Every structure is written in structure tokens, then in C-alpha cells.
Amino acid sequence: MTPLKLVILDRDGTINADRDDYVKSADEWEPLPGALEGIARLNHAGWHVVVATNQSGLGRGLFDMAALNAMHDKMNKGLAQAGGRVDAVFFCPHAPDEQCACRKPLPGLFEQIGERYGVDLRGVPAIGDSLRDLQAARTAGCETHLVLTGNYAGQSEAQLAATLQSVPGTEVHADLASAAEFIVQRERHARAVARGTVDPPDSGPGELKAT
């Protein structure tokens, strides 16, 4: 049986624009440029996409489950228009002081995903915009990818270097579309090497490589 090709994404700052006062409604949920198309790119290449997101606004009483569902309904409709989809959204509803096991940087959400899909998360690509995304993913055994949107938009080279030192081996990309293209093209190249052929590279967004 062919192994499940799985990618795990953060939400706020990776798929949609983040807000200092939290994304609290569907009206406030706005996709980042190219993000939904990036997810569709992964889907079309055979990847299943799931979301792992901290939503402490629930625990803080800033919005309720109906509002969260409305946000994800808007996301899913936008994805459908782009030709993509996410299989599921795993979220932590707890405030920081509740000491749960699922709030990133702890790996609980990732462990739930591994259990739900019956997959070993070692090497599964995980894409996020914050150090805690990377820490949770690495603890769960995932391959870490950082996008320079959300938390890392406008960050200094020194701040980026400190993050990469904390989670070495992380790939760095301009945005989700670039990360998706990197993953798709890397797999295509690996298949070409296995066949002993050379595929011409597709044109598309580039990626920044961590050093």
C-alpha cells in the first residue's frame, strides 16, 4: 500500500493573515496571497493537507465554536474555488495557563494527527510561521519548514538566525506557496532520480534555503 503523503500546516500567519488582537470571526479571516493556491498545488500532487493550530481565543472567551467553524467554512470555500482542500483542522482551544498538552510548542496536536491517520510523523513536512510551530513539529519528528509571513514578516536576519539555530535543518521559504512548490518539486526530482531520468524544472515560486 502506498504510504499516505501528508503535510501539516499552521493556520494564522501561514494560511491567513494574523492579527495582534486574534482572528475572531469569518470577516477577520483573510487568506494570505497565494496560500490557498499553494495548498491546491500540494493536493494536485497527491498530498493530503491537515492544519494544526493554537486557538487560545476560545479559552480566552474572545470567540466561540460557532465563530471558529465559520472561519473554517470560509477557508474551505476559498480552497474549493482554488481547487484545493484540507482534510481536517486540529486545534488547541486552551488558554496558556490551562497547562494542556496540545498547545504548541508542545507536540500534542501533531500526536493526535499521527494517531488519527495511523502514520509515523518522522519526515512529514510541517510548515509554520513561528518558533513554537517548529518546536512542536520537531518534537513530533516532523521535517520543519518556516515561512517568512505572519510572525516572521519583517524579522531581522539575526532573529531568523537565532530561530534556525534553535531548530537546525529547517527549510526557509518566502511564503506557503513557495514552500508547497519546494515540496512538490523535491518529490518530483526524487522520482526522476529513482527512474534514472531527468525532469525539466517547473517554473514557479522560489524558496530560500536555510544554511
Question: Over its length of 211 residues, how does the chain's per-residue pLDDT go in tens digits?
Answer: 678 999 999 999 999 999 999 999 999 999 999 999 999 999 999 999 999 999 999 999 999 999 999 999 999 999 999 999 999 999 999 999 999 999 999 999 999 999 999 999 999 999 999 999 999 999 999 999 999 999 999 889 999 999 999 999 999 999 999 999 999 999 999 889 888 876 555 544 444 444 3
Element (H, E) at 38: helix 35-44
Residue 195: predicted pLDDT: 86
12 is catalytic: yes
The domain limits of the chain are: 6-195
User: Is residue 31 left, alpha or beta, with left meaning phi > 0 and alpha meaning psi from -120 to 50?
Assistant: beta
Task: List the one residue out of 18, 25, 4 whose CA is nearest residue 147.
Answer: 18
Please pick, among 10, 18, 133, 175, the residue that the annotation labels catalytic. Answer: 10
Nine cell digits for residue 108: 500534542
10 is catalytic: yes
HSE toward the beta carbon, residue 155, CA cutoff 13 A: 20
Residue 211: predicted pLDDT: 34
Please pick, among 12, 129, 133, 175, the residue that the annotation labels catalytic. Answer: 12
3-state DSSP call for residue 93?
Answer: coil
How is domain 6-195 classified at the architecture level of CATH?
Answer: 3-Layer(aba) Sandwich (3.40)
Residue 201: predicted pLDDT: 52
DSSP string, 127-148: EESSHHHHHHHHHTTPEEEEES
